[in-house]
A and B are shown apart, each in its own frame.
Chain A
Amino acid sequence: MRDRLEDLSLAGPGILLLALAFILPIVEMLRLSFVGTDGSVTVEHFVRFLSDPYYLGVVWRTIYLSILITAICAAVGFPLAYVMARVSPQLRLWLIVLVILPLMTSVVVRTFGWMVLLGRGGLIPVVLWKLGLAGRNFTLMHTEAAIVIGMVQVLLPFTTLSILGVIMKIDRRLEEAARTMGASFLATMCNVVLPLAMPGILAGSLLAFTLSVSSFITPSLLGGVRLPVVAGSIYESATKTLEWNFAAAQSVILLVGVLIVLMPYIRLSERRHG
């Protein structure tokens, strides 16, 4: 009993802080999303969002861009993680550091780098122009391509590290056995490594997807006002037009969407730990 009391006093400040400053804000957001302009209980904000073609377009753009971003991250992250798992520990450490570096850099800094590279007169449009693939004043800024490029850079480290964790645990003798039995390298990859790495690929992809649908600094700076995503729309409503209840309702919709996607992720990680 006294042991429990001791542990409770150790964890107590944290539990109290998270209850008051983490759970309660979410509850408050839920409550406000059901409060109408006249103070009554209503679902008008949800109806407004879900029945307006403009907002449905925003939702659709958010979803298909996120699917595209996630797919690219998984397709690039898997081979990258495989190579990282099979090099010497010394080299692996360096590769991990290089992959983590952008992950720990502020999102505004990374996005600024892309603004320089993709904007008018930036390196990429100029190279495309010199190659005869684009016009002189070509810019990639304020395009969906810019959003995808910027977001893949942000999320690739997440997917790669989560796949790497799983590949590192694969017994290498399984690969050797497949090769001794006559399977080619590519056949071994497809029939042995890929299926065994699937939990990591799935977990990494789900994480990337939820981070992608809820991010707005990179999409709003690279995509501009003409290509709003859901999180950007929440920011607009909360800080520019000051419709807090409407912003809360949009956040609830985003939260529900994220939770639906996260369920399998939580299941997956529970199975891995349990």
Chain B
Amino acid sequence: MVKGVPEWLKVLSWIFVALTLTFVLGPLVVVAGVSVSESQFIAFPPTGFSLRWFNAIFESNAYVQALLTSLRLAFAVTVTATVIGAGAAIALHRRRLPGTAALAGLFLSPLILPSIIFAIGLLMLWSASVGAVSFPALWIGHTVIAIPYVVRTTLAVLADSDPFLEEAARTMGAGRWQRIIYVVLPQCAPGLAAGAFFAFNISFDEAVIALFLRTPDLVTLPIQIYNQLEFSPDPTVAAVSTLMMGLTVLLIAVIDRLLGIQRFVGN
């Protein structure tokens, strides 16, 4: 066995990793730090410790309204994206439809199309054919960009599933929909659940489509933060942001439990 990596290079590479992680995570730590500062002004390092800015969020009508809008939207998107994505993934996995490869491309394409292009197209089409933008427009827009995640996580789980289970159910006399409900869907469950959490996270954090489709009555939490950042950021922005990051950490932990986060590497 050859001698592995020289000692000095190991030390150097760990310094490099530490610096990179500091760079990548630094801004998030700063936001969390600002949110617990006592100071009236945005300051980092924080002075003192206080949770008053978290209280201030719930006393602010704008933030509470935006939070409710975002939650309502994210739950609606999670339901539609998961149901539609599940059906698509099962059909794609079976490869019986003509042009399955092209269909797979269609279902994953919202991932690579820049969201600004989709957002402006949706705004124009909605205005021309439906009228003023409203909650359903944003719901549809977020569902479209969340579907690829559900399709992907479900396909990943189906790829490892036992194809003979469905065959066995068929020989035992189970009908088409029985096989789907009792055999295929339970097999998909971890992938569907992970996809659902991804869908929730995407809708809750998304800012580009929500910015194009915003109206005075339709402001999501990221857009409320964006408005504050454009004009006068104060520590309440940090507190809201910290709550959003907390939710993200929670969702990552859940997705990892369900599916293993390593599966998403390299896709």
> Does chain A bind chain B?
yes
A213 to B113, CA, bound (A): 12
- Nearest-neighbor residue (CB-CB) of A79 within chain B: B16
Chain A residues touching B, range: 35 or more
Whether B6 sits at the interface, judged by CB under 8 Å, is yes
B97 to A251, Cβ gap below 8 A?
Answer: no
Kindly specify which of A14-22, A42-50, A51-59 makes contact with the partner chain: A14-22
Contact B144 A28 (CB under 8 A): no
- Beta-carbon contact of B112 and A113 below 8 Å: no
Given A14-B147, A15-B103, A102 and B28 touching (CB < 8 A)? yes
In the docked arrangement, what's the CA distance between A114 and B24, Å?
Answer: 11
Q: Is B230 within 8 A of A21, CB to CB? A: no
Question: Does any Cβ of A come within 8 Å of B174's Cβ?
Answer: no
Nearest CB in chain A: distance from B26 CB, A: 7
Tell me if B109 is interfacial: C-beta within 8 Å of chain A: yes
Q: Which residues of B contact A80 (CB under 8 A)?
A: 16-17, 20
Are B28 and A200 in touch, CB under 8 angstroms? Answer: no
Q: For chain B residues 111-166, which have a beta carbon within 8 Å of chain A? A: 112-118, 120-125, 128, 140-141, 143-144, 147
Among B9, B42, B92, B256, the residue within 8 A (CB) of A11 is: B92
Q: Which residues of A contact B43 (CB under 8 A)?
A: 121
Question: Mask for A174-190, Cβ within 8 A of B = 1, else 0?
Answer: 00100110000100000
Interface size range on B against A: 35 or more
Whether B266 lies near A116 (C-beta < 8 A) is no
Q: Does B54 contact A (CB under 8 A)?
A: no
Contact of A112 among B9, B97, B225 (CB under 8 A): B225
Give chain A nearest CB distance to B226 CB in angstroms.
Answer: 5
User: Nearest Cβ in chain B — how far from A189, in angstroms?
Assistant: 10
Known pairs A112-B237, A176-B2, A214-B116; A14 contacts B85 (CB<8 A): yes
Q: Which of B2, B27, B120, B262 contacts A113 (CB 8 A)?
A: B27
Contact yes or no, A109 B241, CB < 8 A: yes
A188 to chain B, nearest CB (A): 10
When chains A and B are docked, how far (Å) is the Cα of A93 from the Cα of B123? 40
Within 8 Å by CB of A185, from B6, B28, B180, lies: B6
A83→B245 contact, CB < 8 A: no
Given known A-B contacts A4-B97, A18-B147, A153-B24, A28 and B128 have beta carbons under 8 A apart: yes
Given A11-B88, A26-B117, A221-B229, A162 contacting B13 (CB threshold 8 A): no
Contact among B13, B45, B249, B264 for A161, CB-based, below 8 A: B264
**Chain A residues with CB under 8 A of B88:** 10-11, 14-15
Kindly state whether residue B91 has any CB partner on chain A within 8 Å.
yes
Question: Are B261 and A168 interface neighbours, CB within 8 A?
Answer: no
Contact A112 B252 (CB under 8 A): no
Q: Name the residue among B20, B83, B94, B204 with the largest chain A CB count within 10 angstroms.
A: B20
Q: Would A98 and B25 count as touching, CB distance under 8 A? A: yes
| A38 touches B (CB below 8 Å) | no
> For window 201-249 of chain B, which residues contact chain A by CB distance below 8 Å?
201, 204-208, 211-212, 222, 225-226, 229-230, 233, 237-238, 241, 244-245, 248-249
A147 part of interface (Cβ distance < 8 Å):
no
Identify which of A17, A116, A166 gathers the most chain B CB atoms within 10 Å of its CB: A116
Q: How far is the CA of A151 from the CA of B180 in the complex (A)?
A: 44
Measured between beta carbons, the chain A residues less than 8 angstroms from B16 are 79-80, 83
Complex Cα spacing A148 to B237, Å:
23
Please count the residue pairs between chain A and chain B whose beta carbons lie under 8 angstroms apart in the complex.
271
Q: Which residues of B contact A12 (CB under 8 A)?
A: 87
A195 to B143, CA, bound (A): 39
Return chain A residues, CB-CB under 8 Å to B124. 25, 28-29, 32, 244, 248
Write the B48-66 contact mask toward A (1 if CB under 8 angstroms, else 0).
0000000000000000000
- With A153-B27, A247-B120, A251-B120 as known contacts, state yes or no: A166 contacts B96, CB within 8 Å: no
B87→A93 contact, CB < 8 A: no
A210 to chain B, nearest CB (A): 7
A102 touches B6 (CB 8 A): no
In the assembled complex, the CB of A162 is this many whole angstroms from the nearest CB of chain B, namely: 6
A88: interface (CB < 8 Å): no
Bound-complex Cα distance A258 to B114 (A): 8
Chain B residues within 8 Å of A234, by CB: 116, 120
Query: How long is the Cα–Cα vector from A79 to B21 in the complex, in angstroms?
Result: 13
For A165, the chain B residues whose CB sits under 8 A away are: 265-267
Tell me whether A200 and B252 are in contact in the complex, defined as CB-CB below 8 angstroms, given that A105-B244, A108-B207, A108-B222 are known contacts.
no
Interface residues of B (CB under 8 A from A): 1-2, 5-6, 9, 13, 16-17, 20-21, 23-31, 34, 42-45, 83-85, 87-88, 90-92, 94, 96-98, 103, 106-107, 109-110, 112-118, 120-125, 128, 140-141, 143-144, 147, 176, 180, 201, 204-208, 211-212, 222, 225-226, 229-230, 233, 237-238, 241, 244-245, 248-249, 251-252, 256, 261-262, 264-267
Known interface pairs A25-B121, A102-B25, A107-B205; 15 further A-B residue pairs with C-beta atoms within 8 A, sorted by A's residue number:
A10-B90, A15-B106, A18-B106, A26-B113, A26-B118, A28-B128, A93-B256, A97-B252, A106-B241, A116-B27, A116-B31, A116-B44, A168-B265, A221-B229, A258-B113
